[in-house]
Structures are given as structure tokens and as C-alpha cells.
Structure 1
């Protein structure tokens, strides 16, 4: 790789690790960058997911205090994310690459829309929770409805197949059904997303080793590892508008790029 390409990929990993910890959708930074640099879409998803595992660990470490306050909820939801991630990775590796070429633009469009409407969704969640007593110290005793497990499983499938914006989807589900604090929901989101990425990464190592671009994985891993710490420590001070704007622009670029390839 040329130096400028390495710097671009490394910075994309740093940015993705930061925003993954804060709101999710970091893959909408790294995936478009990799595709724009000429990497095959499926190979980009594989290398990207493996690299972002490091950022997931640093983000989870940053939210360890909040995670320790909801261990029962975490353990109840982990199997759903685990099984969903396995199925999603299986679909990515076994469906024809042409299928991904058609599905990816739709998923990118959905992810971009989620990023755009995330503030409105967050506002709705806060308004809904305002009428209910938020007791973070008792949140772990809550009995979650079956629908939550189904939705977390489906988000895991989505994350194992595409990875982008699964954090936003998880925050939406937790905001509606989980009556803890937003910080507790964020901690759960970070760890469940990490589990999905870990499962996907293990699947790629076992069944798609030849499709992994290790220099890209290393650059994204280093960048996202640092970004995860930044997101947990100081990321909340960054302008949400700037973060979302950057993600939306990159997502639209990726969308136009992939549609152009389909048309041609």
C-alpha cells in the first residue's frame, strides 16, 4: 500500500472506532473508503469487520462501569446477538457476491436514513422514558419481552452480514424496551456489537482466510482501538451534527459508487 492510502485507511479506522462507541455506524466511514480505494465490496466488509473488533474492545472497556450495572440483561441478550451474528456471517460468505452487490446499496441507504433521523429517534426515546421512572440501579431486574430477543437476533443477522449502523438499531430497540439509562443502553449496545463482530471475524478466519486483506485489518484495528478510547472518554464532546454529516456524505458517496457499478 502507498503511504497516503495507509493514512486514509488508518484515519477512517480512528473515526469509525470513535463514532461506533458514541452512536454506532462506524462502518459507514470505513466501508465507503475501502470501496473508493478499489477494494472488492465483500472483501472490504470482511477486512473492515475484523479491524473494528479492536475498537469494540476499547469501547467496551471505556463503558465497563455501565456494563457492570446490567450484567443480567447483558447475559440474556448476548445469545441472540451471537446466533444472529453467526447467521449473518454465514449469509455473507455463502450467498453469491452478486447478491451483496444488489443488497449493499439498500442496506447503505437504510443506514444513512437511520443516521439522519437518529436525533429525532433519540428525542422520541427520551420523551417516552420521561413518563417512566428511570432507576438505573434497578434496570437489571427488568423482564424483557420476547420481541426484544427477536429484534436483537435480527440486528445480529444484519450486523454479521453488513455491520453498518447496527449500533443505531440496537439503541432504538433498547430505548423503546429497556428502562435503564441511556448510558447503560449504550454500554449494552457496544458489547452486543462487539460480539457480532467477533463472531463474524472468527467465521472469516475459518472460512474466508484468503479474502482477508491483513494490512487493511491492521490499519483499521490500530485506528479503531484508539478511536474506541476517544469515543468513551471525550467523544461525547464532539459535535453530533459534524459526526452525522460526515457519515451521511460518505454513505451517499458509497451508495452512488455501488449503484454506478451496477448500472455499468
Structure 2
């Protein structure tokens, strides 16, 4: 069953067509990669899914329900989380506090309950702390919990973004270049984390320029060029597709 469906999605910025009639599906429980040359429209597609942009045409269905007009916080509440190509942490807050921010969308106690320290607020706070520590342990950075987020290495800041996204208890997670700034050892660890995310029942859609990661982690790939679909299939099929080779490498003129 398809968890996410993009139907003839189009987004324009003035005279520029950033996403041009894009359609694809993400099956529930899959790891799907969205790839293409720089400027192909990949991050714009992500921003359309998560409500940061509104499509000019087409529709976005999550579990069969249109989400194209929903605000970002309601999309998160449905179970869609993301990381960003440009890291967006709270740099002066601790690592643990950053992950707790991801828990916020699942808490219910208001300001009055917090000020009065009511029993249910205390229980909710304790549960959020436990969950935040669990996600830090899952991503392998729990020993940095008390450090200020901006002091982490670039690769560990990427993992912190993943931990924060997981703390919102998503059913669908969108990873925008999660291996950016990582060395080979860190990238190999990230591949294991992505697979373990899927083992938790969370569907994964990712953009990544590291083709080794994409080919190893993903089961299905969608390729964009100039905002439009040019290919779709398994990693082996995509590696052999002449349109994809031309998009990435170009062709020699006669």
C-alpha cells in the first residue's frame, strides 16, 4: 500500500518551474531515494510534502488523504517528520533540549499545568525525557546529551536532527542529505540507522548525493532532472538507465 502519493505536482517561482508535473508513490515500509543533479527540484518536492511550500497544481496524498493545503504543524501531527539540507538546530540549547523540542508536538500539558506542576504534566515530562534519551541512544550520540548543540561535529549535528525528527514519533520520515559532512565511517553508521528506522515501521524518503549510500540503503529510486521525473526503478535499473547517465554525466557532442 502506498503511504504517500504525489500526483502531477507542479511548483513555480515566478517564471521558473521548479517542479514540473511530478508523480510518484512511496510504499508503506519502504526506503525510497529521490535523486538528481543539483537544481533538479528535489528539496522543493520535500518542501511541498511538508507544507513549507504550496503546490500550484497537483495533489499530495498521505494515507489517501490530501495534505496539500494543511499547515506544517498539522502535517507533523499526522506523522510526517523531516530533517533539512541546511541544519536547523537550536544551536545554544543542549543536545537533549533539541530532541525534547521534537517531542513537543506529542505533549498536551499547557502553561498552567507546567506552572502548577500538576501530576499529569510531571508524567508527561518524564516520558518525554525518557523518549529523548532513547532517540539519542538510537542515533549513537547519547553521550553528548548535555553538550551545547553547536559544539557537535557537523556529522553529529546531522544525527541530532534525525534524533529530533524521530522524537515526534513519525510514521514517515524525510531525510534531506543526511550524510552531508560525514566521513566514510559515519556514513556507514548512518546506513545502519536508516535500516533500523525502517525496522521500527517508519517509511523513509531521502535525498542524498552520496550514490554509494543511495545504492546501498534504498530499495527504489526516483530520478528528477529540471524538475521532472526522468526515471524510476530499483538501484540496479537506475544505474543502467541511459537517461540517468546522461543527466549526471552529460553526453559527448558529435
User: Over alpha carbons, which structure has the higher Rg?
Assistant: 2
Asked whether the two chains share a fold, i.e. TM above 0.5, the reply is no
**Which protein has the bigger helix share?**
1
Give the TM-score taking structure 1 as reference length.
Answer: 0.26
Higher strand fraction (1 or 2): 2
TM-score normalized by the length of structure 2:
0.27
